[in-house]
Copies of this chain bind each other. A is one copy, B any other.
Amino acid sequence: MLSLTEENYLKAIYHLSEGGSKAVLTNALAEAMSTKAASVTDMIKKLSAKEVITYEKYYGVNVTAKGKSEALMVIRKHRLWETFLVDKLGFAWDEVHEVAEQLEHISSPRLIEKLDEFLGYPKVDPHGDPIPDSKGKIKVQPLIPIDQLPVGFHGKVAAVKDSDSNLLKYLDKIGARPGIKIKVLGKEEYDESMEILINDHRVFISKAVSQNILVVG
């Protein structure tokens, strides 16, 4: 059993390691958790005692198979709750993150299976992020931010990157939601802004925005 704080650390480690595939440094984790390196070192010791990570002094942290599966369960809960909040309770997608951060720590396997069923076994959350299934299996699709696409490309928005509320409000306003058709109309060399066609509307967007709109690669 992990405490709430331990779960949050593990989730952050998992995300920073890009799904458990690379080592995470103490300072990077301190930054991600908005805490101090000394606190991170303490917590790292606890988490490796619980065998969810391996730890080599002055080198970094790696997620174990057990840790990966625990992290994926937390992510599964987070994304199912986000889907519930948007699909069933009518929340806007920029309002769900903080609440889901709380709900993801509710411990009841039965609850999460029932919720999954109630939602119709969704594959992705409202931001387009994949939802791990009950075994922790996650469908990884290579996603590309549209700032890297050539003029003329057309496809569908698969996901959006950041969970910042202001960005999400803006993306929602221009219609850049998962599933919506998108076409690259033009790119400006100078500031890397671009013109896109979305929902039959021409929109100019800055690079800061285009980096956060993802399509299937």
Query: A interface vs B, CB < 8 Å?
Result: 85, 88-91, 95, 98-99, 102-103, 106-108, 110-111, 114-115, 117-118
The complex is assembled from copies of this chain, and their number is 2
Q: Is the interface of A mostly helix, strand, loop or mixed?
A: helix
Cβ contact within 8 Å between A111 and B85: yes
Question: Cβ of A118: which chain B residues have Cβ within 8 Å of it?
Answer: 88-89
| Residue of B whose beta carbon sits closest to that of A102 | B106
Measured in the bound complex, the distance between the Cα atoms of B88 and A107 in whole Å is: 19
Cβ contact within 8 Å between A90 and B114: yes
Cβ contact within 8 Å between A99 and B95: no
Measured in the bound complex, the distance between the Cα atoms of B111 and A106 in whole Å is: 15
Give 22 pairs: A residue, B residue, CB < 8 Å, sorted on A: A85-B111, A85-B114, A88-B118, A89-B111, A89-B114, A89-B115, A89-B117, A89-B118, A90-B114, A91-B110, A91-B114, A95-B110, A98-B108, A99-B106, A99-B108, A99-B110, A99-B111, A102-B106, A102-B107, A102-B108, A103-B106, A106-B106
